[in-house]
Amino acid sequence: MRRSTAAAVGTLTGAALILGVRLSVTPAPLAAPPAFEAQPVGDTGAVTDPPATATRDGARGRPTERAGGEAGEQATTRPGGDDPDAEDPDAEDRGAEPTPTRTGGRSAQQPSEEAEAPAGGLRDGTYTGTAATNPYGTVQVRITVSDGRISKVAANYPTTGQSGSINAAAIPRLKEATVEAQSADIDAVSGATFTSESYITSLQAALDGAAR
Amino acid sequence: MGTAVSIDVADPLPAAAVTAMIDDVCAWLHEVDGRFSTYRPDSEVNRVHRGELTADGFSPDLALVLQTCADLWRETDGYFDAYATGRLDPSGYVKGWAVEVASARLAAAGSAHHCLNAGGDIRSRGHNADGKPWRVGIRHPWLPDKLSWVLSLSDGAVATSGTYERGDHVVNPRSGTPATGLRSVTVVGPDLALADAYATTALAMGESGLAWLARLTARGFTSAVVTDDGRAFTSDGLPVAA
């Protein structure tokens, strides 16, 4: 049973990232995402409190990719709830344990009415950039111009299962295997610590005896 | 408590030279035991534990080990913890470090081909006496006379931490209670001290250690794990023998 499961993982992960989703991240319901609040200047908006260490992961360091995903569901192989990832500097899968995205209905917004442009400045209004698709999903940036200056910048982040599965597949995982019971021609045995007593009856002792 | 050490020197060297090398390894391991053993009342570690020794009196080796344990504590977000049992006990690092240093001493003395096994922690260099890579078996977590995997190593380290020998001796520092979930964790990599610490760490984490171990592959450490309920997991790149 386990062997066939392992084979299934091996053949499917290359072709269909969905399997990665099934095994680990469960996409959050797409209905009723939290409403997005426009943020003051300088805040990219959809990212809360980015962990400083997220920037160490080249694939997810950029803000446009970080929240690529869902309210993180916990897989059995993910560090548990009260858990190292809050501070772990090596939590490279931080990007897949995301805060809920806050796009709300923003992606549907269109550029609003335009005011008179001050001489030499930007035209007031709200502008939504072209949606940009990267390997982690689709990002769209919106700026608001007031008094000829950019007053707000915000971005909405992917909420679909697609990015969740991509992030899950980007995380290195151990493959399920089968514990076999084999005997073999070996030079040494690695096991949990031998005490002197247990060594005597251990495989290693048999090897050492044979070598003499 | 004693730890059995197996030393296999495969260089075509005169017997006297090999004997001298092996004597040096044994002397080194005894020195480590005398300094770090928590079972020896007058060990340096126990003197620190009793407050008889402060940092300005640490030997260089003790200072190095304690500093590295502190670094590992940070790196593992507290899951590698030299104080996990409630008192100073750096054994989870010392075991592997001692053999890593022993291998370095052998190499410095002229041995390019050897395999050391101290209590299940293995460090190899070069090839065996038949000119082949060292074949290292991982002890089956339930069947003591069987293997769960066989690895093929040239220069490398294999460390196994498990519950089947000494029971639930690894404590989860978060709970203060024995760690459960994983029965055997084997870490393979370029440095036995780190491999040993990582294996112990993953065992302390329980099942969440599986994801943590997977992230180590980026730094050259691969793993083979068996859970308490008999599931097995391996890293991509684990050097399984053909």
Nearest CA in chain B to A198: B165
Q: CB distance A189–B147 less than 8 Å?
A: yes
ipTM of the complex as predicted: 0.87
- Model confidence at A197, pLDDT cuts 50, 70, 90, reads low
Query: How high is the pLDDT of residue B220?
Result: 96
pTM of the complete model: 0.61
Pick from B4, B8, B150: CB nearest A184: B150
Query: How high is the pLDDT of residue A201?
Result: 63
DSSP annotation string for A44-108: -SS--S--GGGGGSTTT-SHHHHT-SPSPPPPTTS--SS-GGGT-TT-TTGGGSPPPP--TTGGG
CA dihedral A205, A206, A212, B4 (to 10 degrees): -10
Across residues B139-160, what is the average pLDDT? 92
Check if the beta carbon of residue B226 is closer than 8 Å to that of residue A179: yes
Across residues B76-84, what is the average pLDDT? 92
B206 interfacial to chain A (CB closer than 8 Å) = yes
A79-131: pLDDT as tens digits: 333 444 444 444 344 443 344 444 333 434 444 444 444 555 678 888 887 77
Looking at beta carbons, which residues of chain A come within 8 Å of B5?
A: none
B201 interfacial to chain A (CB closer than 8 Å) = no
**Shortest alpha-carbon distance between residue B57 and chain A (Å):** 31
Cα–Cα distance, B111 to A101 (Å, whole number):
58
Cα–Cα distance, A59 to A171 (Å, whole number):
11
**Shortest alpha-carbon distance between residue A132 and chain B (Å):** 29
Nearest CA in chain A to B219: A90
Nearest CA in chain B to A2: B231
Residue B225 or residue A133, greater confidence: B225
Query: How high is the pLDDT of residue B120?
Result: 87
Kindly tell me if the per-residue pLDDT of A13 is higher than 70: no
Rounded (to 5) percent helix, strand, coil in chain A: 30, 15, 55
Cα–Cα distance, A44 to A49 (Å, whole number):
11
Query: How high is the pLDDT of residue B191?
Result: 97
Helices (H), strands (E): how many in chain A?
Answer: 6, 6
**Residues with Cβ within 8 Å of residue B115, at least 6 apart in sequence:** A187, A188, B6, B7, B8, B10, B122, B123, B124, B125, B128, B134, B136
Q: Token pair for residue A72?
A: 């993180």
Mean pLDDT of chain B: 93
A40-61: pLDDT as tens digits: 433 344 433 333 333 333 333 3
Query: How high is the pLDDT of residue B84?
Result: 86
B199-214: pLDDT as tens digits: 999 999 999 999 999 9
Nearest CA in chain A to B158: A190
CB atoms within 10 A of CB B119: 29
Residue A6 phi, psi (nearest 5): -65, -40
Pick from A86, A179, A195: CB nearest B230: A179
